[in-house]
Structure 1
Amino acid sequence: MIRTGRQYLDSIRDGRRIWVNGERVNDVTTHPMFRPIVNIRARIYDMQHEDAFRDRMTYVDGEGNRSAIGLKLPETRQDWDDKRLSTDTVLNEVGGVVTRVGDETIGEMWSLYDGQDLLNEVDPRFAQNIRNHVARAIYADPFHVSANTDPKGDRSKRPQDQDPDMLLHVVKETDAGIIVRGAKYETAAAYANQAFTKPTIANWGDSALSDYAVGFVCDFSSPNLKFICRTGFAGRAPETDYPLSNRFDEVEALVVFDDVLIPWENVLFYRHTKAATFIRATLHRYSAFAFVQRNLKLADMMIGTALFNVRQTGLDRQQAVQEKLARLACYREGINAHLTAAIAMAEPSPGGLLMPNQSLLMSGRVLACSQLHEMMHLTRELCGGQICVTPDAAAFADPETGPWLQKFYTINENWVADDRRRLLAYARDLLNSDYAGHRLTFQLFAQSPPFAHLAAVYRNFDWNPSLDFVKKSAGLSDAVVGK
């Protein structure tokens, strides 16, 4: 019911066709750009079996089967408290933020689980398929990710008016399943087991039965898949100088579907624009929680980095510095408050599950993402200019330059040069490195772009209490209601 790290590693040694930096990857588990993050995912699997973590990461069902808490269907507030604790346990153990490790992507399947009535309108098999795949995820414990973004092409044109493969679509039906062609971008695809693959566009080709309106679970060991990855950050510079880049980089891939067979049992909807529209509108009703929780940990990382930097030189006693630290704390606690309240005011979903309060969760996501760049810059200010001018670890170790750096980087008996260098290197990688810039962009777009974040708030906020109050306070007539 719960896998080991070794079982996971064996499962992705399946001959899949992966390229990175212009080279073919023979074994994704040993390649230097993938190995660190693959090992973290394996570590998460192993944690589920260890006495120190088992009770915080797994649960036992009524039949005595043990499964991962992150994959459990949420039905109570306690389920959400347990999921939050499980994620924190992982992030604290690995010592950083990993986003695409499965618990934050399975929620997108739960969103479609809520739409079974829509699926039944086309074919009852599709509703049964989503139930089967949710159950299979709980039972088989796969590394499950989510494939959303297409290469786009010219978005001023219909899909049919350009190269049709720019957007993933069905090219053929067979007795065994559908044949799909196109491509998707996806973080962690090269080292995951499967993905919930669905459309991103709202224009389905002006057709109620569009071949672009398709959603399915894709087994990444399927023939005819190709994974063309961006160059990873791990291994490009020493870990002593870039401790985050070398441990937590989650590599994206352009996944090319070159006439891939999707068995009928893996098809969740097809030629069903209403289902496609539904999933785009509700995709993050669950997954946003785990995503925003990671922003909370990023806030902790920035606060700790800034506070260590100002305390070592005594600047934390200055009011201007305290005010900047307070702004970081307000950002952190704002995220924390939205997450806590979203559980406390959780609401039933259309499919009988319990979802975080949607208005609070989506508002918290806007807070976490829209202010992240400001908080990073505030942390830079508090760390000071030395994060961009400090020599690398090799200079500190060199017999000629090392003594000078020991002299100028030692502050007192508590802050010796090596600790100060480590902190500055950590701050540089958190705030200034290529990896830091990549992660900032990822946080802005990984759960759809900012305009979609605000659209989700607009759809989920209850406008009526404000209208009712002003109607009564201003003495407006009943005729204005609903205008």
Structure 2
Amino acid sequence: MIRTGNEYRESIRDGRQIWIDGEKVKDVTTHPMFKPVVDVRARIYDLAHEEHSRKVMTYADEETGEANAIANRLPKTQQDWKDKRAAVELVQREAGGVVTRVGDETIGEMWSLYDGQDVLNEVDPRFSENIRRHIARTIKGDPFHISANTDPKGDRSKAPQDQDPDMLLHVVKETDSGIVVRGAKYETAAAYANQAFTKPTIANWGNDKLSDYAVGFVVDLGSPGLKFISRNGFAGRAPAADYPLANRVDEVESLVVFDNVEIPWEDVLFYRHTKAAAFIRSTLHRYSALPFVQRTLHLADLMIGSALWNVKQTGLEKQQAVQEKLAQLACYREGINAHLTAAIANAEASPGGLLMPNQSLLYTGRVFALSQLPAMMHTARELCGGQICITPDSATFNDPEVSPWLEKFYTINDNWVAEDRRRLLAFARDLLNSDYAGHRLTFQLFAQSPPFAQLGAVYRNFDWSGPLDLVKDAANLSEKVNGSL
């Protein structure tokens, strides 16, 4: 059954070992650096029950009639994707900022493996059965599901066997019950999620067909032997009045240590066969890239809104130079939107019988959204003006000795008083200039894969035959010319 926010909170009070900011966390749901984002995830669960939002967040199971989350529904029609986009948009608006791992992005990675059941059957038919069961369980059980990709890696000039083997997650032994794994993964939201689809990063297998590092599984994040060593959170460092995004939507990453963790056989999705591991690496984002790019669209809307409110407050919206920069942001925003819309309109049947977004349009849209993001953030900074980096904090605005001066110099007219001006500048600062803003920019760059891998996905999915045939005919090239790449 679909869960409530409080049921989710109870599910992560399981005694897991978490460290952050030099302390061991007693309750992840109440710790000041985790509580805001836990509350956002809980809010998503509650939206599925509330009258005004449940039709956007849920659908009725065709067989049982039970309400399930739109996010977890296997995509089979264009309407399914449109429904998913509507749910993501609602979540972003409710959160008041961009939230990624607490939404629905990573469940799509499981669908990629669902498409690879033929590959899994070559390895072991049990693994194909396991992925089908896990997807069904996720649909009905409604867990907070995340992804685990990146390892510490160590010295990347060496094979993992030639250094500390734990630098890449690997299997150390088999038991009657399952496999035992050691190593570590960096995972966003792991400290407050229920389960993680764990699979290898790009590994140096050479020509090996078998490897203890080629392993993929779903891990219960309450399992014995897991340790969560989290980065210092942004929430609570400074007042929410001055840093509203950092205090509301910071998704905390953790180094998750697997200290001889046993994974039951029924949770193993592939093991040892490098062919299966290579398949999932090459198709990992064929679904999950769409909600990821959509979140970048929401970030673009936040930048446009911040910049436009600023020029409206200061009376600059009619200047041509200002309008040109706003138009640049609008072109960026609509470029992302066009890729998303076209990827759904031109969706393709997947090998597993699902409907996947048009792969070429989706991956080129991801490259467009992320490669242009730094420049667009700088354009938004220009439009917001230098005051976003020099405005005093809220406590100073409230100081009785200096507040009259700040009221004088930050009040623009009867419509735009000092407090509104301060709030907009604080929001824009947190969106574009703060530690949180820098973190978000880096996260967007690497969250799914580094730029070279994103371009590699474009190369593998673009239809090169069209341009080749076009020029072959236009230039009257020999029929013997091979048009394949």
Bucket of the pairwise TM-score, normalised by the shorter protein: over 0.9
Counterpart CA distance in 2 for 1:119 and 1:408 is: 66
Q: Which residue of the partner structure matches residue 352 of structure 1? A: 353
| TM superposition outliers: structure 1 runs of 4+ over 3 Å | none
Alignment of 1:251-400 (within 5 A): 251-400=252-401
Tell whether 2:10 aligns with 1:10: yes
Q: Which residue of the partner structure matches residue 43 of structure 1? A: 43
Amino acid in structure 1 at the alignment position of 2:23:
E
Q: Which residue of the partner structure matches residue 426 of structure 1? A: 427
Q: Which residue of the partner structure matches residue 477 of structure 1? A: 478
Counterpart CA distance in 2 for 1:457 and 1:190 is: 33
What's the CA shift string for 1:418-443, capped at 9, x where partnerless?
A: 00000000010000000000000000
Corresponding residue SS for 1:420:
helix
Amino acid in structure 1 at the alignment position of 2:235:
A
Q: Which residue of the partner structure matches residue 213 of structure 1? A: 214
Amino acid in structure 1 at the alignment position of 2:447:
A
Q: Which residue of the partner structure matches residue 227 of structure 2? A: 226
Corresponding residue SS for 2:75:
coil
Q: Which residue of the partner structure matches residue 121 of structure 2? A: 120
Q: Which residue of the partner structure matches residue 463 of structure 2? A: 462
Q: Which residue of the partner structure matches residue 21 of structure 1? A: 21
Counterpart CA distance in 2 for 1:28 and 1:408 is: 43
User: Do the aligned partners of 2:214 and 2:277 also contact (CA within 8 Å) in 1?
Assistant: yes
What's the CA shift string for 1:227-264, capped at 9, x where partnerless?
A: 00000000000000000000000000000000000000
Counterpart CA distance in 1 for 2:154 and 2:81 is: 39
Corresponding residue SS for 1:243:
coil
What's the CA shift string for 1:457-478, capped at 9, x where partnerless?
A: 0000001111111111111111
Tell whether 2:414 aligns with 1:413: yes
User: Do the aligned partners of 1:102 and 1:144 also contact (CA within 8 Å) in 2?
Assistant: no
Give the gaps of 5 or more residues in structure 2.
Answer: none
Q: Residue 95 of structure 1: CA displacement?
A: 1.6
Counterpart CA distance in 2 for 1:180 and 1:481 is: 47
Amino acid in structure 2 at the alignment position of 1:39:
D
User: Do the aligned partners of 2:37 and 2:248 also contact (CA within 8 Å) in 1?
Assistant: yes
Q: Which residue of the partner structure matches residue 66 of structure 2? A: 65
Counterpart CA distance in 2 for 1:245 and 1:68 is: 27
User: Do the aligned partners of 1:205 and 1:212 also contact (CA within 8 Å) in 2?
Assistant: no
Counterpart CA distance in 2 for 1:64 and 1:325 is: 47
Q: Residue 315 of structure 1: CA displacement?
A: 1.0
Corresponding residue SS for 2:210:
coil
Q: Which residue of the partner structure matches residue 94 of structure 2? A: 93
What's the CA shift string for 1:382-425, capped at 9, x where partnerless?
A: 11110010000011100001000000000001110000000000
Q: Residue 202 of structure 1: CA displacement?
A: 3.5
Corresponding residue SS for 2:317:
helix
User: Do the aligned partners of 1:102 and 1:145 also contact (CA within 8 Å) in 2?
Assistant: no
Q: Which residue of the partner structure matches residue 76 of structure 2? A: 75
Q: Residue 205 of structure 1: CA displacement?
A: 6.0
Counterpart CA distance in 1 for 2:397 and 2:305 is: 24
Counterpart CA distance in 1 for 2:141 and 2:477 is: 59
Amino acid in structure 2 at the alignment position of 1:28:
V
Q: Which residue of the partner structure matches residue 169 of structure 1? A: 170
Counterpart CA distance in 2 for 1:400 and 1:436 is: 32
What's the CA shift string for 1:162-205, capped at 9, x where partnerless?
A: 00000000000000100000000000000000000000124226
- Judging changes above 3 Å, is the alpha-carbon distance between structure 1 residues 157 and 206 closer, same or farther for their aligned structure 2 residues? farther
Counterpart CA distance in 2 for 1:205 and 1:230 is: 34
Counterpart CA distance in 2 for 1:240 and 1:425 is: 7
User: Do the aligned partners of 2:469 and 2:483 also contact (CA within 8 Å) in 1?
Assistant: no
Give the gaps of 5 or more residues in structure 1.
Answer: none
What's the CA shift string for 1:304-352, capped at 9, x where partnerless?
A: 0000111111111111111000000000000000000000000000111
User: Do the aligned partners of 2:348 and 2:355 also contact (CA within 8 Å) in 1?
Assistant: yes
Q: Residue 89 of structure 1: CA displacement?
A: 1.1
- Judging changes above 3 Å, is the alpha-carbon distance between structure 1 residues 258 and 206 closer, same or farther for their aligned structure 2 residues? farther
Q: Residue 480 of structure 1: CA displacement?
A: 1.3
Corresponding residue SS for 2:367:
helix
Counterpart CA distance in 2 for 1:205 and 1:469 is: 38
Amino acid in structure 1 at the alignment position of 2:450:
P
Corresponding residue SS for 1:232:
coil
Q: Residue 94 of structure 1: CA displacement?
A: 2.1
